[in-house]
Structure formats: structure tokens, C-alpha cells
Structure 1
Amino acid sequence: MTAQTSSSKRIAARVGYIKSIHSDDYHLSIDFEGNPSQEPVLAAMGRPFTRAQINMAIDNQLDCRIDFMNGDLSTPIVRDIYFSVLAKDELVISAKHVVLKGTEEVVIGSGSAKTKFSGNDGRITTEADYITTNAQKSNKIQGEKITLN
């Protein structure tokens, strides 16, 4: 009976959010469902996350799995970041260098505007109702052949 009572008091994993990276780069400031302190607390990382993964979780308020060492709410551990963004209205990616790769093609679009990068024939195609280009210094068009309407 005592074993059942102590196991029933174990704290289950919670869903939470990463608020910031601590200056020591080993801890995260987080908030989670049922946080008794009502403000972000420091958590250990339960596995190695890249800075890009953590920044994406912060920028997009992605759900994270929070476990607790020995079931103690004062010792949270971030075990996983759920990168599924199917229900999100916006996805923010911020990094020094962003690489999108597609072996056949990459399409970036919104509404009736899109740009397609074709790996098959080395072609970039932009389609839109209106296309505007601006340059502070120079706007070069270079090519073996240039065709204008």
C-alpha cells in the first residue's frame, strides 16, 4: 500500500515553453502547466539541443516536454521540443545562416505569389501579380540572353 501511495504522488511530465537560454548555455528559462512559482524557472536540458532548435522553440513558442527529477516540480528537465507546426499561424526562423535544400526543387510561396528554384534545370521562376525590386546602390541584370516584354 505504501508503494502505491508514493508512486501515485509522482509528478507526470508537463507541456511547457522555453522562454530564454540561460547565460551558462546549459540551462533554459521555462514555464509549464501547473508551475507553482507562476513565473519562469531554470531547467536542465535532458538531451543536447542545438542553439537553432532552442531559438526556434523560443521564437515560435513550440511545445516542450518537461519532466521532473524524482518527481520534484522544482527540478524541471526539458526532454523534447515538439517541432510540429501544423497548427501554427506563423513560423519564425532566425539564424546567422539559413539553408533550404531540395534535390529537385524548392518552392516559396504565399497567396498568388511564388518563387520556384529548380534543381533539375538550374532555373528560378517567380510568379506574382506584381513584382517590385529596389536597390540602394545597383540592381544588375546579367545573362547570356535577356528578354524583356
Structure 2
Amino acid sequence: MNTLVRRSLLAAASTALVGGTMLTSPAQAFTSSSSVYVGGTNYYVKAYSCNSYWSSCSWNAETSMSNSKNFVHRGDVKANGISVSLTISADSGAGITGNSTSLATAKESGYGRYNYMSGVARPSVFSISVAARSRLDTAAADPSSGWTTW
């Protein structure tokens, strides 16, 4: 095997190894949470999003209350960058608004002590990062987590 062919094969193998490592390495994740105590009930909200991704990013939003309440839970997901947009998916019980914009929202209403939504964000090629936040609306309190990234 001549030197040129050997170098080409080594370069291809190195690229495949590095590329494979980059694609299979665990994504970096960010979380943000908040809690408030109002009228004998503790309200807690939390959001999660990955920040390093190839073409899509997982996100989730959860909320819990120490007492059962009627609630509206919103999971907001946004793409950060210039002239960006994203499309999100969410659990089957969630309604989604804002797909193909820079901010999409999944919304669930119900009664109880806990709600969890999750999905996948597919940002446009110009996106720098994906951020999520969790918002809870009840008659007594409206806590919100911060954004998981700027």
C-alpha cells in the first residue's frame, strides 16, 4: 500500500472516530427550578433542556404541588440565535402553539398534584441553543422556572 493511500485511510478513520465520538457523546443539559409556598400549599416547577445537540434536543417541564389543585401547566421552548425557529413535539395530552417560530409552547390543563411534559425540539440550522421553562397557573399561585439557558 503506498503512503498516499495509507494516509487517506488513516485520515478517514480518524474523522470517523472523532465524528462518531461527537455524535455519541452525552449531551450537555441545563435545568432551572423554582418553588413558592402560598396558602398552605408548596408549588414547585422545573424545566430541562439539552444545550449540545446535532439536529434535535430533548426538553421537559414538570410541576408539583403539595395539595391537589386545578392547574394550567405550560412548557415553553425557544431557540436562541439570529433568524431562528423551532418545531417541538410533546406528550399526546399537550396542545402545542407557536411551532415554526422562535418560541413554542406545550400546554396541559388538569386537576391534581403533579404534571410532566416532555418532547423533542428541532431548531433551525442558525440556532445557537435551545432553552425551556416551566410555568404553572393556579388560582392561588403562578410560579415559573427561569429559562434553562439564555
TM-score (norm 1): 0.23
Structure possessing the higher radius of gyration over alpha carbons: 1
